[in-house]
Amino acid sequence: MSLVILIFLAVVNLSTFMGQPILPVSTLPPPGTCQPITGVAMCLYVPWAGNASFPNLREHRTQSEANTEVNVFQPLVTHQCSNAIAHFLCAVYTPACVEGPEGTVTLKPCRDLCNHVRNTCEPLMQQGGLDWPPHFECSNFPESGSTDINSLCFDVPFHNVTIPPELLPSATTSSSTVVQPSSNKSSVVH
């Protein structure tokens, strides 16, 4: 079965998307708008489906553009090369979005999440003669535990993202705040 998946990846010409680098965290485009995921089928049921940021980390401005490219990786999801492959792909193509006091914050996948997926999925890709895509270079993603609002990320498994109190709009809380994406809209829990 894995040979069929690998042939499919080759047929859909995965290499056409592999040459487009993902930008390092410091040079990502400014966050855009938060919108519900309606046009990226693979990502309709992620915990943050009510709030995705566009343009995304691949600079797609529309969900249709994101859907076209993420579907190239559907065989990896179907084969379940990683228990986190769908979350990783959706975090890149439909990243979680939180609207805060200083504007929209895009939650990126953490470097550990990327490394986890790469370590489990890259061998399957290599069996088909494909390399890990340069735009998924794990060193371009932030490390977990960052307190920089622009480097917030989530890891495996995705449960919540802790925002340090000094980054919150008011000093009414003495502990960290947890952002818990729901199916409708991301909420902040004190």
Starting at the edge strand found earlier in the chain, the sheet holding 33-35 runs: 33-35, 52-54, 96-100, 103-109, 153-154
| Alpha carbon distances (Å) from 84 to 34, 77, 78 | 23, 9, 12
For 91, list phi and psi in degrees, rounded to 5. Answer: -65, -25
2-17+31-159: which CATH topology?
Frizzled cysteine-rich domain (1.10.2000)
For 107, list phi and psi in degrees, rounded to 5. Answer: -90, 120
Query: Residue 142: CB partners within 8 Å, gap ≥ 6?
Result: 25, 108, 110, 111, 148, 151, 152, 153
| Alpha carbon distances (Å) from 94 to 57, 111, 131, 141, 150 | 8, 17, 23, 15, 17
Distance CA 146, CA 42 (A): 28
Distance CA 39, CA 37 (A): 6
Please give the DSSP secondary-structure letter assigned to residue 32. -
Q: List, as one string, the DSSP characters of 114-166.
A: HHHHHHHHHHHHHHTT-PPPGGG-GGGSPPTT---GGG-EE-SS---EEEPGG
- Supply the pLDDT for residue 52: 93
- Supply the pLDDT for residue 117: 95
* Residue 148 structure tokens: 């920089």
Q: What is the mean pLDDT of each run of 10 residues along the chain (190 residues)?
A: 38 39 44 85 89 92 94 91 92 89 85 95 92 94 84 67 43 38 36
Spell out the domain ranges in the chain.
Answer: 2-17+31-159
- Supply the pLDDT for residue 156: 65
